[in-house]
Structure 1
Amino acid sequence: MGTLLVNILLFVIILTVIIGLHELGHFYFAKKAKILCFEYSIGMGPAIYQKRVGETNYAVRAIPLGGYVSMAGELQQSSMLQIGKNIGLNIVDDVVTEIALSPVVKTDYTGQLVDFDIYGKDQKPLFIIIETNGLQHRYEVSRTAMIHLNEKSKMQVAPEERSFESKTLWQRFLVIFAGPAMNFILAFLIFLIVGFFVGKPSTSNIVASVSENLPIYETGIKPGDAITEINGKPITEWADIRNELYNSNSLTITLKHSGNTNIHQVKLALVIQTLGITNYNENGIVDLSEPILGMAAGKADGFLEAGDKITKINDTTINNWDDIYVFFKEFLGNVVTISFIRDGVEKTETIEMLTKNAVSKLGYDPIALQMGIGNRTSFNLGYTLAYPFKKMLSDVSSTINTVGLLINPNENVGIGDLSGPVGIFTLVGSASKGGILSLLAFAGFLSVNIGIINLLPIPALDGGRIIFLGYEWVTRRRIPVKIENMINNVVFILLMMLFVFVTYKDI
C-alpha cells in the first residue's frame, strides 16, 4: 500500500511539473503580448484550489491529466449576453464596471438587455443598452469591467486589443509554440542533471554492479571482478561482452577475482520485445528448466499470462527458453500460433506481433538479453555536456518513429499499443524502482513525448494551431475564429475518446 501511494504521488508530481511548465510557456508569452488570460489551470475537473490575482484566476484542479490557459479570443464573451434577458449593472461615474448575468448577484441597476458591444473592434467604445420600465438607457462599459456569471464565477471583459486574434502572427506563434518549447527545455535540463551522475561508461571488462534478482548474482561475482572469457572467447573490453550476449540464452563465463579464475554457467533474462514475453518477473527469473512465462505484455497481453508454459510455437516444439530464443532469433514473420498450458489445460492462440523493424525504430532490440551487470563509469565533462543533446536526439527520434509506425499499416503498431495515464502510472512505478536517476530520465522522456505530440499537425493541439497560422501566413487570410474553434472542439472530443480508449487498454 505504501509503495502504491508513493507511486501515485510521484505520478502526480511528474505530470504536474511537465504540464504546469507547458502551460506556463503559453501563459508567459500571452502575458508578454498583453493578451487577457482568464485562467491558468493545472489539471482538469473541479478546482481544489484557486485564487484570483489581478485579472487572472490561478487554479489547481482535481484530475492531474492536463491543464490549460484560458485566453481572450478563445472564449466568445458576446455569446454569454443574450438580447431580451434581464441583467444587472453596477455603474460608477456613468460607466459600467460590473455586469451580472445571474439574479443572485447584487447590482444597483437591472433591466432587459436591448443591445451591446463589449468587444470594441478598432478601439470603438464599449456600450450596453438596457430597458427599465419602458425606458432605454445606454451606458459606456469600462474596458476592464467584470462579468459575473454567477455568485462565485466572474471574468473580465475582453476588448479586441486584449484578445489573442488581435495580435501579430509572430506573437500568436510564440504563444502557441512556447508550450512545447518549455517541454523541451525541461527535458534538456533534466538530462543535463542526469548526465552529471551517470558518468562516461568505461571500456574496461571490469564489473561495477551486479543485479541481485538475476542468476549471475548466484555465481558470487562481485564488483571489481573481471570477465575474461564468454563461451571460450576472450573478453578484453565491455563491447565484447555485449557482442557475445546475443549468441545464446545461456553463457559460460570466466571470472577473474583476486588472481583466481572461476568458470560459471549463467542464464540470461530474455525479453522477446516483438511479442511481449519474458522469463523475468519482479522477483527475478522464473524456472529456466521449463519455458514458463514470467510476464506477458504488449502484443501478448490478453492472450498469454504469467505462469503459462509454452509447448509449441507454429510447428516448433518448445522444451525450454533456449528453444524460444532460437525460434524468435531466426523467425522473420510477425504472426505466431502459440500452444501453451494454463492451469493444466492446453490452449492455443494466434498472435500478430510487432515487426522487428518496428521494435528497432522504437529504439529497442527485438530480442533483449540481460546478464544483470553494469560497467564502470567516470566523470567526464565533455560526456556530461554532450549527454543531454544525445538523449534529446534519441528521445525525439523515438517519439517521431512511434508516430510514423502508427500511420504505417505494415508495421502492426496500433492506437491500442500507446500508453494512457494508467500505463504511464505503471511506467512511473517501474522507473522509481530503478532509483532517482531512472525516474528523472523517464520524466525527461515523458516531457519530450508531450512536446512532440503537442506539435503534431492535429487541430486542438498546438501543432494544429500552428498549421492554421501557416495557412494565414501563406494566404494572407485568417480562418474565422468560430470555424477554428468549432474544428478544435470537435477534434478535442475525438482526442478525449481516444484518451479513454487508450486508458481502457491499459487497465
Structure 2
Amino acid sequence: MPLPNLDSVESVLAIVVVFGALVFFHELGHFLLAKRAGILCREFALGMGPKIFSVKRGETEYTLRLLPIGGMVRMAGEDPEMDMLQPNMEIAIERDAVGKVTHFLLDGAQSGGSARAITGTVLRYDLEEALTVTMEVDGEQRNFSIHPQAQLVKDGREVQIAPLNRQFKGKSVSQRFWAIFAGPAANFLLAFVLFVALGLSYGVPNDAPLIGEVKAGGPAAAAGLLKGDKVLSIEGTRVETWQQVVEIVSKSPNKELTFEIEREGQVSKVPLKVTSDENNIGKIMVTQSLTSAPGEALKYGVTSTYKFTVMILKGLGMLFTGGVGLDDLSGPVGIFKMTGEFAQQGMAVLMQWAAVLSINLGLFNLLPLPALDGGRLAFLAVEALRGRPIDPQKEGMVHFLGFAFLMLLILVVTWNDLQRLFA
C-alpha cells in the first residue's frame, strides 16, 4: 500500500488541525471544570515531551510540547513542586504590607532589595492547611503567616503554592468526578458540533418526499422529473416521507408506476418505468433531497453522535469477545494516514472523520483502565462507596502499570500500521 501524499500541504495541515482540535477540546473540558471547582491548574499542555513554546497567563502556564501525541492539564497536588522547600534550608522570604509571606527565595538571601525581606533557616512549615512557616532568624524562632498564593522562587522560576483547598485531592468526590469526566464529555460535544456544522454547511437528508439530484439517462430523467419535485402519491398510494417512496420503488422492479407530483404549485401525473439492479431491487436513479434547516441540522447532530457511539461500542465489544483481534487495530500512524486521505476527499468527509475520531477518543478514555480517565473515575467510585480514598501510592502504582500497558499496546498497533503501509 503506498504512503499517503504527505507532501500535500492540505494533508499535513488537516492532520495538525484535526488532532490538535481533538486534544485541545479534551483537555479544555478537564481545564474548565477543574477551574470551576477551584483547583489550581499549573499547566495546560498540547503535546508531550520537551516544551517548544510556553506562556503564562494568571496561574496557568500554557505550553506546546514537541510530540503531537496527546496533552495534559497539570493540576496542583499531582506534582512534586512542594518538595522544593525543605527543613533546614537557608532561604529568604518577602512579605506583603500585612506581613504575610508572598515569596520564598530558595536560592538564598537574594531579597531583591525588598525592605520586607528576611533571611533565615527553615525549621518547619505547613503549605497546605495552616499556611505558616517557622524560621530561625538571628538565633530567634519566628512564625510567619503565608499568603495562599505565595510563590516558591528557585533559579528564576516561580511556582505557586497550593493549599489543600486548591488541590485536586482536596476537592469533593463529585467535583473531582466532573473535572475528569469533562474531558471525554468535551469530545462528544465536539463531535455533535461538527455534525451540526456539516448539516448546516452541506445539508442533511430530508425526510420529506422531495426529489433530489436526478441522474441523466435514468428512469426519472426520462419521465421528466426534476430536482425539487414533491411526490404526493405513487399508484394512488399517498406518500408523506422519503422512506415510503424508497419502499414502493424498491418493491417494483421493471414495473411502470404513476407518480403524482407537485411542481411550483401545479399537480400532475407522470408515468415512470422502474428499472432494477443486480439484486432485482427497483431503481429510478434519483437521490434524496437535502436540507440545511437548523432544526434538522441539530437533529442530525444528535442522531449521528448516537449512531457512531453505538457503532464504536459494538466494535469495542467485539475486541473483548474475540470478534476483532489486535491485528485489526490501527494506531497513530494508521490514523494519521487515513486523516491525510480523507483530507483529499473534501472538507465534508474530513469533518465527519474528525467527529468520529472525537467520539473514539471520548469512549476510549472512558474505558475503566488504569491511566485513562475511566480508570480514575473507577477509583473515585470505589472511594465514594468505601467512604475514604485509596492509598495514593497504591493508586499511583496501578496507573503507572496501566500507562506501561497502554504504551505497549500503542507499539503493537503502530507495528501493525507500518506492516500495512509497506506490505
> TM-score by structure 2 length?
0.73
3-state SS of paired residue (2:63): strand
Secondary structure of the 2:50 match is strand
Listed one character per residue, the Cα deviations across residues 124-166 of structure 1 (whole Å, up to 9, x for unaligned) are: 233254688x876654432211123543x43210111111122
Matches within 5 A, 1:140-155: 140-151=145-156, 153-155=157-159
In the alignment, what sits opposite 1:92? 95
Question: 1:204–1:375: 8 Å Cα contact kept in structure 2?
Answer: no
Task: Tell me what 2:319 maps to.
Answer: 406
Using a 3 Å threshold, how does the CA distance of structure 1 residues 432 and 30 change in structure 2: closer, same or farther? same
Q: CA deviation at 1:43?
A: 1.5
Task: Note closer, same or farther for the CA distance 1:175–1:112 as it changes in structure 2 (3 Å cut).
Answer: same
Q: Deviations over 1:375-403 (max 9, x none)?
A: 34322746544322221122111221222
User: What's the CA shift string for 1:17-51, capped at 9, x where partnerless?
Assistant: 11111111111111111111111112212222211
* 1:125 pairs with 2:128: no
Residue 221 of structure 1 deviates from its aligned partner by 6.7
Structure 2 residue 383 is matched with structure 1 residue 443: no
Q: Indicate conservation of the 8 Å contact 1:200/1:384, yes or no.
A: no
Look up the match of 2:263: none
Residues of 2 paired with 1:27 and 1:424: CA distance?
26
Report the alpha carbon displacement of residue 56 of structure 1 after superposing the two structures with TM. Answer: 1.0
Higher relative contact order (CA 8 A, sep 6+): 2
CA deviations on 1:338-369 (whole Å, 9 max, x unpaired) are: xxxxxxxxxxxxxxxxxxxxxxxxxxxxxxxx
Equivalent position to 2:24, from 20, 25, 31: 20
1:390 aligns with 2:390: no
Q: Percent identity?
A: 34
Consecutive unaligned residues in structure 2, runs of 5 or more: 224-243, 252-270, 279-284, 419-423
Give the letter for the 2:363 counterpart: I
Classify 1:12/1:161 alpha carbon distance in 2 versus 1 (closer, same or farther; 3 Å): same
For 2:334 and 2:203, how far apart are their aligned partners in 1?
Answer: 26
Work out whether residues 431 and 442 of structure 1, in 8 Å CA contact, stay in contact via their aligned partners in 2.
yes
Check 1:223–1:48 CA distance in 2 against 1; reply closer, same or farther (3 A cut).
farther
TM-score by length of 1: 0.62
In 2, are the aligned partners of 1:90 and 1:96 still within 8 Å (CA)? yes
Residue 291 of structure 2 is aligned to residue 379 of structure 1: yes
The alpha carbon displacement at 1:88 in A equals 3.3
Selected match of 1:469 from 368, 375, 380: 380
Aligned to 1:273: none
What is the number of equivalent residue pairs in this alignment? 365
> Partner amino acid for 2:289?
T
Alpha-carbon RMSD: 4.0
User: Which of 328, 347, 353 is matched with 1:417 structurally?
Assistant: 328
Q: CA deviation at 1:113?
A: 4.7
Contact 2:131 2:163 in 1 (8 A): no
1:186 aligns with 2:190: yes
Which letter maps to 1:29?
A: L
Cα separation, 2, equivalents of 1:88 and 1:488: 36
What do residues 381-429 of structure 1 show as CA deviations (whole Å, max 9, x unaligned)? 46544322221122111221222122113x2x23342222111111111
Provide the residue aligned with 1:64 in structure 2.
68
Shift of residue 444, structure 1, vs aligned partner: 0.5
CA offset at residue 239 of structure 1?
Answer: 7.1
The question of 1:491 aligning with 2:402 is answered yes
Q: Is the 8 A contact 1:117 1:128 kept in 2?
A: no
Residue 41 to residue 2, structure 1, CA distance change in 2 (3 Å): closer
Partner SS, residue 407 of structure 1? helix
Q: Is the contact made by 1:72 and 1:163 (CA closer than 8 Å) also made in structure 2?
A: yes
The aligned amino acid for 1:405 is: M
- Please give the secondary structure, in 2, of the residue aligned with 1:452: helix
CA distance in 2 between partners of 1:203 and 1:380 (Å): 13
